[in-house]
Structure 1
Amino acid sequence: MKRHPVVIGIHGLANKPPVDEKTRWWKAAIAEGLARNEEMPDAGFAFEFVYWADLRYEAPLTEAENREPYRPYDGAGPLPGGDEAPETTAKDVLAPVYAGIDTIEKMTGVTLVDDLILEHRFDDLWHYHVDQAFARRVRARLAERLRAFRDHRILLVAHSMGSVVAYDVLRMLEREDPSLRVEHLVTAGSPLGLAKVRLKIESEHGRPRVPDTVGQWTNLADGDDVVAIMGALKAVFEPNGRGSHVVDRRVVNGYRRPDGEPNHHKSYGYLRTPEFSRIARGFANPSLAIPRARERA
């Protein structure tokens, strides 16, 4: 029998605050979503965070440098769900254009547009694809953490570039450690739909499909998140041998910076969506519940 559930997160692009701070903020965002969307104000859950920014950057972001700290949403009650998303978003406008470019890139194998996007907009991901030593070190951190919790029910949450790392590691573990299982993979703001990324997957792992190590895969994408411009992944990744397929969910990522500017790609916004909270509810651990104030008195 599997031991208690654990949520394992891996972050995405760009430099980050110190690991302890980033870990607290991810956990706080998940707890906030459970409290507001699932009426679980005292939810407890085991949480592990895979931090790799230090492999790419000399020093973490200072408080003064960080323009996007975690801040709880204003108000009370459930947060907007995907059914409340705007009818027309950047994805609806740009995705058809990119789809045409994507088709050409896939047919020719020449990915000039994606190369430009990755090198200048997502340079960490570009570096991950060209520097094998760096890629091995990042993958090793996630693989080590998954192996450490192999006897637990695992919810793996991968944001942005972290979803590419997670996918590569899970396909790698199919071959190296086939008995390891991730009960639920959640990708958020994922660039896995980009032609360049899929070509890299094919060259290393074969045809894109759900890893055999995964029981369920849910992909969350805000329509205005340009990193997830292709949005739906079900059409790209075939089911695995057990019939598990990608379930795409359109969400509302309402994160705003302290100056009020929105960032529809931010991890905290994804972690507080009702769609993610419904999944996280199944991995809450009553034995880790936070005591109520009156019970502590």
Structure 2
Amino acid sequence: MPPAVVYVHGNGNKVRRELLKSQWDTALFGRDMAGATRMAYWAPLRYPEPLPDFRSDPLDGGPEPVEERAASPAPGAPPADRAAPEAPEEFVARTLDEARREAADTGPEVRAGRDGSALAGWLRDMTYLGDTLAHAGERAEPSAELPLEALPLPRAGRTAVFRRLVRHTFKDVHAYFFGGAGPAMREVVSEALDGPADGPLVVIGHSLGSVLAYEVLRELGREVELLITVGSPLAVTEVQDQLARPPAVPAGVAAWRNASDLRDLVALDHTLRPEYGPPERVTDLLVTNDSGNHHGIREYLSQPQVREPVHQLFGHVAHGPG
């Protein structure tokens, strides 16, 4: 019997479910896979309306929408009229305050005794790394010891894109762990896993979606032939501290492939194998993701190291006309 694929999308708002699934299908298979794949679509729990069709998702490295861009300074305005860049420490403090206020508005915390402070270290590390990348782009010859490439934007633009990514990412992460949204988000994944699957099951999680997929599989012990995580923060210590169970390969997962780009600021740590045993079931992959922020899902799904094991499970289905 042919396998089934369950996708779990990542941070931020998305286009409508059917279009999002088709986009992932096209990136992974080259065509829409109809009922062979399904999307665990949790975005409506966090956002009242989906993104308009064909609008680029900024969290996948697309351009920033016009209405969200900062106003440009008037031509000829003196430098003093322009806002000074926000220091990393200020950004961390402000973002934590925003996330805590949002959590207070959405309901009680579901994991008692946790106020989000453990994730502050991750946010701070991401912010400092963003500044490091911005500075690295100014060097004529980047050091061979730092295999990171700066975003293809001027420094101010790179910093703005990065911090915007972190701001949105952290809000959804905070809502999941501390804002009361976790149970409902995991239920969406559980329902998607309960769909028809006469053959092997493949689960693919991106970004925060990889955390959702992992925690649900860890809880349910569902048999999964292949778990693929891309752009995942699961290797980050501050994220591991918030997991309901100690890090380990979910009991029902036969093989786990984890792919990340060294420049992906969400996958701040790139190796799961040291923490998630048994290690023989885990393969960490370093790939090249050339989306604007090196975190885009389509660029991850189009990587041969990600596509090929899925295609092998599908056999001729994956290579049909299309």
Q: TM-score, normalised by structure 2?
A: 0.63
User: In the alignment, what sits opposite 2:296?
Assistant: 266
User: In the alignment, what sits opposite 1:166?
Assistant: 213
1:113 aligns with 2:109: no
Q: Note the aligned Cα RMSD (angstroms).
A: 3.0
Q: 1:224–1:42: structure 2 CA closer, same or farther, 3 Å change rule?
A: same
Q: What's the secondary structure of 1:215's corresponding residue?
A: coil
Q: CA deviation at 1:65?
A: 5.1
1:252 aligns with 2:288: yes
Aligned AA (2:270): G
Question: Aligned runs of 1:15-54 on 2, under 5 Å?
Answer: 15-32=13-30, 46-54=36-44
User: In the alignment, what sits opposite 1:75?
Assistant: none
Structure 1: how far apart are the matches of 2:15 and 2:5? 20
Instruction: Verify the 8 A CA contact 1:234 1:247 in the aligned structure 2.
Output: yes
User: In the alignment, what sits opposite 2:233?
Assistant: 191
Structure 1: how far apart are the matches of 2:205 and 2:26? 16
Instruction: Verify the 8 A CA contact 2:59 2:295 in the aligned structure 1.
Output: no
Cα displacement string for residues 190-220 of structure 1 (whole angstroms, at most 9, x for unaligned residues): 011222211112xx21x21101010000000
Q: CA deviation at 1:114?
A: 2.6
Q: CA deviation at 1:253?
A: 1.1
Instruction: Verify the 8 A CA contact 2:3 2:314 in the aligned structure 1.
Output: yes
1:221 aligns with 2:297: no
Aligned AA (1:253): N
Structure with bigger gyration radius: 2
Sequence identity (%): 31
Structure 1: how far apart are the matches of 2:241 and 2:48? 30
Structure 2: how far apart are the matches of 1:146 and 1:44? 16
Q: CA deviation at 1:245?
A: 2.7
Q: What's the secondary structure of 1:61's corresponding residue?
A: coil
Greater than 4 Å deviation, 4+ residue runs: 41-45, 67-70, 115-121, 287-292
The count of corresponding residues between Structure 1 and Structure 2 is 227
Aligned AA (2:122): D
Q: CA deviation at 1:131?
A: 2.8
1:282 aligns with 2:317: no
User: In the alignment, what sits opposite 1:234?
Assistant: 273
Aligned AA (1:227): V
Q: CA deviation at 1:149?
A: 3.4
User: In the alignment, what sits opposite 2:248?
Assistant: 209
Return 5+ residue gaps in structure 1 as ranges.
33-40, 71-108, 175-179, 256-261, 293-297
Structure 2: how far apart are the matches of 1:247 and 1:288? 22
Q: CA deviation at 1:148?
A: 2.2
Instruction: Verify the 8 A CA contact 2:25 2:33 in the aligned structure 1.
Output: no
Q: 1:287–1:248: structure 2 CA closer, same or farther, 3 Å change rule?
A: closer
Instruction: Verify the 8 A CA contact 1:44 1:286 in the aligned structure 2.
Output: no
Q: CA deviation at 1:244?
A: 4.8
Q: CA deviation at 1:139?
A: 1.0
The structure 2 residue matched to 1:154, chosen from 201, 206, 215, is 201
Q: What's the secondary structure of 1:57's corresponding residue?
A: coil
